[in-house]
Amino acid sequence: MTPMLSFENINVAIAGAPVLRNVSFALQPGASAALIGRNGAGKTTTVRTIMGFTEASGTVRLGGEDLGPIPPHRRPSLGLGYAPEDRRLFSAFTVEENILLPGRVAKLSPDESKRRLDRAYSVLPELKELAKRPAGSVSGGQGKMVALGRALMLGTRLLILDEPFQGLAPVLAQRYAEALRRLRSQDKDITLLITESNPKLLETFADVTLTIERGEIESRASH
Amino acid sequence: MNTTLATLAVLDGISYAALVFLVSVGLSLIFGVLRVVNVAHGSLYAFGAYLAATLSLAVAPISPWLTYPALIVASIAIGVICGGFIERFLLRPLYGRDDVLQLLITFAAFMIMDNLQRLIWGVQPIFAAEPLKLLPNISVFGVAYTSYQVILLPLVALLTLLGLRYFLRRTLAGAVILAVTEDREASTAIGIDAKKVYFVTFVIGASFAALGGALASPTTSLVPGMGADMIVLSFAVAATAGLGQIEGTALTALMIGLTRAFIIYIQPEFEVLVPYLLMVLVLLVRPFGLFGAVQVRKI
């Protein structure tokens, strides 16, 4: 089967210093993958490379398609959803406007937009109560939920969540984990790639664990 | 100061503020989105004025009313051609590099355009007042004034302000610009082509500068150096308002326009000094301008 995501000999250097070294791995469609590593190990650089935000050598493929020639702004429309580590919501808009914006940019039909918004609300019911709030006024934890909801609008094939549990209070972390389980139970085909520094947080959720250390994939375990 | 002089000062101030707003709002929009202080903005104003005058003089013999579309055509042509060229070939290679490079390159563009302007239009004053003469004079509290300056210019400025507000707050293109303004990478991650947004925003901002020049052209003789005067003044307005603050730019343009007009009648030797004195005073107390604040949304 063609992997949903594959890294083939990826190297990334930032200001001359190697950050990713010959990284290769593949994730099958429907995988729930955890990319585990300490701060500075290369987790964020790995996911930013998928989004096209780094100068990388090697090949990244999505469903067999080489992402190299595809400019970063065209990658989300391939079914790529990305929730960055620091949420990065647009404070000029409400929570719901933030979630809907990717669909508006991708020119989804109103019916399809509504369907995807409903999907985001069914995964994250608490967002419905926040819908009309300015995005700049939500708490850090709520912001992580909004970022996940926004990523779900276009993330129909691969959903990338960069350190979603970082800085979350235990109660919110639990709610976030529940949302991920709801998503997995509703959508068996979507591939999830979640980065995390604490291996315990994802051990019951992930079916594939990749460990990255100093820019190299040190181990891969399937559960 | 008697009532007549006060009325004249108010009308002068409103008319001048309208032109200054059009130029300043373009500068502010470009800074708000691209974080570039476009020194070449004054040249775009001057080119807009000169091209508008040239087109007006060319079409006036056919029909004087064609001079109005000529003003619009000149503004858009300068915005698209000159603005588009500056963004695509001079600024785009510099994004992400030291900000001072953008300042230097737009300063270079300003100097080149200033020379080009002399090369194309010469150094003799050009006057094309047809659009001004077509509209009747009106009387305000017994003071006769051209309706072009006291009605048309403020109306265009007001429509620009309202149109820009509507565009940014109510349309997808405006939402996309706001998103890129706030976070370029996060915007790209949801499918927005930030390069295109930068280009379009720069062209819109440049068109506003050219529109300011085009609308000013019937009211004054066009002479070399007019761009330099306007860039300094519009920068003072945009900085006093807070760079990136559109509504604030409108109020500040009005404030500076009126103050300048009254000073001309009361103490004319301070005419040039006043806008910059206001700017310095405001920036000393509020470094982010009257309407700006740290970490607030720009535009």
What gap in Å lies between CA A88 and CA A147, rounded to an integer?
8
> Across the interface, which of B182, B189, B193 has its CB nearest the CB of A51?
B189
Residue B269 is encoded by which pair of tokens?
Answer: 């030797």
Which residue of B180, B190, B193, B246 to mutate against A (max A Cβ within 10 Å)? B190
Q: What is the ipTM of this complex?
A: 0.93
pLDDT category of residue B243 using cuts at 50, 70 and 90: confident
Say how many CB pairs under 8 Å bridge A and B. 60
> Taking CB atoms and an 8 Å limit, are A105 and B172 in contact across chains?
yes
Q: Is B86 exposed, middle or buried (0-12, 13-18, 19+ CB in 10 A)?
A: buried
Q: What is the pTM of this model?
A: 0.91
pLDDT category of residue B299 using cuts at 50, 70 and 90: low
| Most confident listed range (A66-75, B89-98, B219-228) | A66-75
Contact residues, chain A, for B191 at CB < 8 Å: 73-74, 76-77, 102, 105-106, 154
Contact residues, chain A, for B186 at CB < 8 Å: 84, 88-90
Buried b / exposed e along A178-204 (16+ C-beta atoms within 10 A): ebbeebbeebeebbbbbbbeeeebbee
Residue ranges for chain A with pLDDT beneath 70: none
Is A209 within 8 Å of A199 (Cβ atoms)? yes
pLDDT category of residue B278 using cuts at 50, 70 and 90: confident
C-alpha radius of gyration, chain A, whole number: 17
Residue B271 is encoded by which pair of tokens?
Answer: 């005419």
Contact residues, chain A, for B175 at CB < 8 Å: 93, 97, 101, 104
Q: Does position B296 have pLDDT exceeding 50, yes or no?
A: no
Q: Does position B247 have pLDDT exceeding 60, yes or no?
A: yes
Contact residues, chain A, for B192 at CB < 8 Å: 73, 105
Q: Does position B3 have pLDDT exceeding 90, yes or no?
A: no
> Taking CB atoms and an 8 Å limit, are B182 and A74 in contact across chains?
no
Q: What is the DSSP string of A81-140?
A: EEE-TT----TTSBHHHHHHHHHHHTT--HHHHHHHHHHHHHH-THHHHHTTSBGGGS-H
Buried b / exposed e along B164-203 (16+ C-beta atoms within 10 A): beeebeeeeebbbbbbbbbbbebbbbbbbbbbebbbbbbb
Q: Is A30 exposed, middle or buried (0-12, 13-18, 19+ CB in 10 A)?
A: middle
pLDDT at A222: 83
Q: How many CA atoms lie within 13 A of A101 on its CB side?
A: 34
> Taking CB atoms and an 8 Å limit, are B192 and A105 in contact across chains?
yes
Residue A129 is encoded by which pair of tokens?
Answer: 């109560």
pLDDT at B291: 84
pLDDT at B78: 98
> Taking CB atoms and an 8 Å limit, are B189 and A97 in contact across chains?
no
Question: Other CB atoms closer than 10 Å to residue A167's CB: what's the count?
Answer: 15
> Taking CB atoms and an 8 Å limit, are B190 and A53 in contact across chains?
no
pLDDT at B96: 82
pLDDT at B293: 64
Average pLDDT score over residue span B243-272: 91
Q: How many Å lie between the alpha carbon of A209 and the closest alpha carbon of chain B?
A: 25
Which has the higher per-residue pLDDT, B228 or A61? Answer: A61
Q: How many Å lie between the alpha carbon of A110 and the closest alpha carbon of chain B?
A: 14
pLDDT, tens digit (0-9, with 9 covering 90-100), for B110-153: 999 999 999 999 999 999 999 999 999 999 888 899 999 999 99
Average pLDDT, chain B: 93
What gap in Å lies between CA B16 and CA A214, rounded to an integer?
62
> Taking CB atoms and an 8 Å limit, are B193 and A106 in contact across chains?
no
pLDDT at B85: 97
Contact residues, chain A, for B297 at CB < 8 Å: 91-92
List, in sequence order, every residue forming a beta bridge with B267; answer none if it has no partner: none
> Taking CB atoms and an 8 Å limit, are A102 and B190 in contact across chains?
yes
Q: What is the DSSP string of chain B?
A: --HHHHHHHHHHHHHHHHHHHHHHHHHHHHHHHH----TTHHHHHHHHHHHHHHHHHHHTTT-GGGHHHHHHHHHHHHIIIIIHHIIIIIIGGGTTS-HHHHHHHHHHHHHHHHHHHHHHH-SS-B---HHHHHSPEEEETTEEEEHIIIIIHHHHHHHHHHHHHHHHHHSHHHHHHHHHHH-HHHHHTTT--HHHHHHHHHHHHHHHHHHHHHHHGGGS-B-TTHHHHHHHHHHHHHHHH-TT-HHHHHHHHHHHHHHHHHHHHH-GGGTTHHHHHHHHHHHHH-TT-SS--TTPPP-
Residue B59 is encoded by which pair of tokens?
Answer: 């079409």
pLDDT at B288: 85
pLDDT category of residue B294 using cuts at 50, 70 and 90: low
Question: Which residue from A minimizes the CA distance to B179?
Answer: A90
Average pLDDT score over residue span B58-75: 97
Contact residues, chain B, for A77 at CB < 8 Å: 191
> Taking CB atoms and an 8 Å limit, are A101 and B179 in contact across chains?
yes
Is B264 within 8 Å of B74 (Cβ atoms)? no
Q: Does position B297 have pLDDT exceeding 60, yes or no?
A: no
Q: Does position B295 have pLDDT exceeding 70, yes or no?
A: no
> Across the interface, which of B179, B182, B190 has its CB nearest the CB of A76?
B190
Q: How open is the CA angle B194-B196-B201, to the nearest 5 degrees?
A: 95
Q: How many Å lie between the alpha carbon of B3 and the closest alpha carbon of chain A?
A: 45
> Across the interface, which of B178, B183, B191 has its CB nearest the CB of A102?
B191
